[in-house]
Amino acid sequence: MRRRRCCCCWGPAALLLLPLGLGSLLAAKVNKHKPWIETSYHGIITENNDTVILDPPLVALDKDAPVPFAGEICAFKIHGQEMPFEAIVLNKTSGEGRLRARSPIDCELQKEYTFIIQAYDCGSGPGGTNWKKSHKAVVHIQVKDVNEFSPAFKESMYKASVTEGKIYDSILQVEATDEDCSPQFSQICNYEIVTTDVPFAIDRNGNIRNTEKLSYDKQHQYEIMVTAFDCGQKRATEDVLVRVNVKPVCKPGWQDWNKRIEYRPGSGSIPLFPSIHLETCDGPVSSIHTTIELQTNYIGKGCDRETYSEKSLQKLCGASSGAIDLLPSPSTTTNWTAGLLMDSNDMIFKFDGKQGAKIPDGIVPKNLTDQFTITLWMKHGPSPGLRAEKETILCNSDKTEMNRHHYALYVHNCRLVFLLRKDFDQADTFRPAEFHWKLDQICDKEWHYYVVNVEFPVVTLYMDGTTYEPYLVTNDWPIHPSHIAMQLTVGACWQGGEVTKPRFAQYFHGSLASLTIRPGKIESQKVISCLQACKEGLDINSLESLGQGIKYHFNPSQSALVMEGDDIENINQALQKVSYINSRQFPTAGVRRLKVSSKVQCFGEDVCISIPDIDAYVMVFQANEPKITITGMDHFARPAAQFESERGVILFPDIRIVSTVTKMEHPLDLREHDRVNKQVVVEEMLHNLDFCDVLVIGAELDPEQECLELDHGELQGKHLDATNSTAGYSIYGVDSMFSYEQVLRQLRYRNWGTSATSDRKFRVKCSELNGRYTSNEFNLEVSKEFSWKVNILHSSNSNFMDHVNHMIFQPKFLQSVQHPEGSVSAVPSSVVPSVATMVIMVCVSVLVLVVTLGVLRLRSARQHGALGHEGPKDNEMDWDDSALTITVNPMEKYEKPHQTEEESEEEDIDDEEEDTTSAESDDSEEEEEEEEVIVQKGNKQNATRQEQLEWDDSTLPY
């Protein structure tokens, strides 16, 4: 039987627990519901900010509301590892909350976040017990980017190469990046070329292209600056350099050569193309043929030659003597060229078809022998007019009555013809008379050197050193003898007969220079080559270093060089050694053109590629102009006996010829405002001379009484010659200044006539390059002394002579004083013995008086100096010299009087002499002039000193 228990039967413990159980039961009944939130949230937060914008908003609901605590929201909890966010409750009752960042959010570190969030209510009471939490909701937050970074290029510089003449779609691509996290700010939306005026463009992807065809010759390289923009239009902080190299299209030809080559005088040999090489574009080359031409036809007579006179050049080249210059510079003795058109710098005569020159009789022998030589420089073009006529260079024809040509040299239809008609007394048979040469050079309007060597009946032509035989020789009968005079002409032929009036005919059109004829001798090949040699040309440095298989050939003037080989590298090295040389010390300044032409052959083909010609030029600078200075003793006097001796007097014993050149330099250490001041540097230089003329100033020499002489042995071993005339002495030839000094120091002057003038003046002037550089005019005056003097030492009183000998002896700083020659020559010879006797008698009679006066004067002079009176301190004794005659030096006119006191004293002496000699013969005035005493000034080096001895002749009558 089940027993029923009632509550009344519970024990005390049960009764105690009953209130607690009831409380819990009541609380459970109060907080019955969980909070509620959305199942997911999407939020956005801007970087560097803490506010999160959620969608939907963060709100929690509780069905227990409005029950206090149970219906309220006390917290939001985020589940996740180290999430930089927190959720706070803004209103417990409404359940509104906010999500925020605990620290700044960096989009570049993390662009989005995902985590779990739950809402918690406040429980059943203030203690928060019996709280309930909501379900888990997912929160996804995206970080909004800020454009804080600028674009940056991946490379510091971009390089690309393009071939000229093409249009490229893309030459290269530049690329920039942006560290921002969002596509908007991290992507590059645009590129831009900063450099202006360049033929390039760039697209938004960074591809650079050219907008026009590029030319290597126009510009080898382009440098452009490029920048970038992100999609937020933020520009790159640094632009990038893009370098585009333009490559030439592979064109066969010479590379790495300079169009202008500079040459300074004295540089010797300089390479023309030191870095040149041939580009064949990988063609299969089998051989290369190259020609280098130096074009100098517009310089002087075809190139830079020595501009000395023809005589000087022939002497320098060792030519035979006796050459007669038919076209000399116009002068008083060679005046037949005065009316011709002339270029004085190069001694070139231009003939325009309207003029000719007559050579005076006696210049060239009437009848030439079987051997003679004609030389000339000629520049000639095609003959004017439809019907070409003879153009006479040289012609010897009848002067009157007839029109026979004895010999002539002329041009006809671009053929050079030499005519030589023998006389019957020289030959009486049918003999060669006309010799014809047909050469292209005769009418090419260029300078050429022609030499006609006549060794009858053989006539040989040399043109530019090359031998040419006549292609046609015609015979003729000799000319009948006659007494008709002949006329030698240049530039035309004289027609003396068969015309109404004698006149010139067959005029020459062109230019001639250095036309000479040498009777009796012919020139050798060596001399001809020397006379026409150029002083400039092409050269090869180090012939032994030329590569194997290189063949080369120079023309005679070295203005053209041909090189041939089968290896490109060897040809390159050979051409790099080709140089220009000018051996003249004073070359002609100007441009020399260069032309290099080449032909290349390939295997199995005649010509595979075409090599363009090289057109370059050598610029020859002007040499510093020398200053030639002649110095030496400019006046002297010698006794007549020396002038009258067999050797005469040497005129220039100490002559010096010095040449200097002045240069301007800029010192490096000067300040900017002082750099305009140039430092002048004078340097002595050595060079040759080609003539020195010693000219007589005034009346010409009287060959009956005076002459200039020079031992021709002094010219031996030198390239010098000399000519003598009454107008002076001419020394010519190309030689050093030292050689000219040696010869001039041996030139003597003789004067053996009594009526010839005692004073002579000479002038020396020297030249280099035929007057291009001339010296100063050095003047010399010489005087002939006549010794009309009476020597008191021949007195019969020997004791007196010994006693006064030291008084008569002149100190070394005194010059001898002599009468001028003119006054002496006027004195009759009969007067001299009487004057000598009178003077000796007077001298003996006044011996004691002279000694006494001398002592008194000496004491007086010392006392006068002690008292401080004015007067020369060096005068110790004043001598009475009225009874003495001292030789007068004619050169005394170069000295000045000592003092006005001495001049007045001399005037007093002259007055007394006139009084004391008034009763003498009618020739007393001439005697006074002979015996007049002139006190001379001391030596020039002791200009302040005065003579120690002074004669007082005021008390002694003649």
Q: What pLDDT does 835 receive?
A: 47
Q: What pLDDT does 862 receive?
A: 53
- Residue type at position 200: F
- Three-class HEC string of 430-444: CEEEEEEEECHHHHC
Residues 778-783, mean pLDDT to the nearest whole number? 94
**Residue 27, pLDDT above cutoff 70:** no
**Residue 432, pLDDT above cutoff 90:** no
pTM equals 0.56
For residue 766, report the phi and psi dihedrals to the nearest 5 degrees.
-120, 160
Task: Give pLDDT tens digits for 712-742.
Answer: 889 988 889 899 999 999 998 899 999 999 9
**Residue 18, pLDDT above cutoff 50:** no
d(CA 896, CA 940): 10
Q: What pLDDT does 544 receive?
A: 72
**Residue 67, pLDDT above cutoff 90:** no
> Residue 872: pLDDT band by 50, 70, 90 thresholds?
very low
Nearest C-alpha neighbor of 515 from the set 348, 360, 366: 348
Residues 6+ apart with CB under 8 A from 776: 628, 629, 630, 765
**Residue 459, pLDDT above cutoff 50:** yes
> Residue 144: pLDDT band by 50, 70, 90 thresholds?
confident
Owner of token pair 């942006």: 178
CA 643, chain centre distance (Å): 51
Average pLDDT, the chain: 78
Q: What percentage of the chain exceeds 70 in pLDDT?
A: 75
d(CA 68, CA 93): 9
Q: What pLDDT does 855 receive?
A: 63
**Residue 697, pLDDT above cutoff 50:** yes
Q: What pLDDT does 171 receive?
A: 94
> Residue 305: pLDDT band by 50, 70, 90 thresholds?
confident
Residues 691-715, mean pLDDT to the nearest whole number? 92
Q: What pLDDT does 542 receive?
A: 77
**Residue 490, pLDDT above cutoff 80:** yes
Decide if 705 contacts 753 (C-beta within 8 A): yes
Nearest C-alpha neighbor of 403 from the set 465, 336, 479: 479
Length of the chain: 958
Residues 792-813, mean pLDDT to the nearest whole number? 35
- Top-confidence residue, 498 or 11: 498
Decide if 360 contacts 431 (C-beta within 8 A): no
**Residue 898, pLDDT above cutoff 50:** no
d(CA 229, CA 213): 29
Nearest C-alpha neighbor of 788 from the set 883, 910, 882, 888: 888
**Residue 946, pLDDT above cutoff 60:** no
d(CA 252, CA 273): 17
Task: Give pLDDT tens digits for 375-422.
Answer: 999 999 987 665 678 899 999 998 888 888 889 999 998 999 999 887
- Tokens of residue 805, six digits: 């000998």
d(CA 648, CA 916): 42
Q: What pLDDT does 665 receive?
A: 62
> Which helix (H) or strand (E) covers residue 725, if one does?
strand 721-725
> Residue 530: pLDDT band by 50, 70, 90 thresholds?
confident
- Top-confidence residue, 605 or 620: 620
Encode burial over 271-288: b for 16+ CB neighbours within 10 A, e otherwise: bbbbebbbbbeebebeeb
Task: Give pLDDT tens digits for 440-457.
Answer: 999 998 889 999 999 988
d(CA 738, CA 687): 10
Q: What pLDDT does 239 receive?
A: 93
Task: Give pLDDT tens digits for 543-575.
Answer: 776 767 888 898 878 899 999 998 888 899 999
Lowest mean pLDDT among 180-189, 233-242, 829-838: 829-838
Q: What pLDDT does 105 receive?
A: 84
Task: Give pLDDT tens digits for 632-680.
Answer: 999 999 998 899 899 999 999 999 999 998 876 655 454 444 445 556 7
Cis omega (within 30 of 0) for bond into 66: yes
Residues 327-351, mean pLDDT to the nearest whole number? 84
β-bridge pairing 405-412 and 415-420? antiparallel
Residue 561, number of CB atoms within 10 A of its CB: 22
> Residue 482: pLDDT band by 50, 70, 90 thresholds?
confident
Residues 918-938, mean pLDDT to the nearest whole number? 39
- Three-class HEC string of 129-144: CCCCECCCEEEEEEEE
β-bridge pairing 778-785 and 635-639? parallel
Task: Give pLDDT tens digits for 153-195.
Answer: 999 999 999 999 899 999 999 999 988 888 778 888 899 999 9
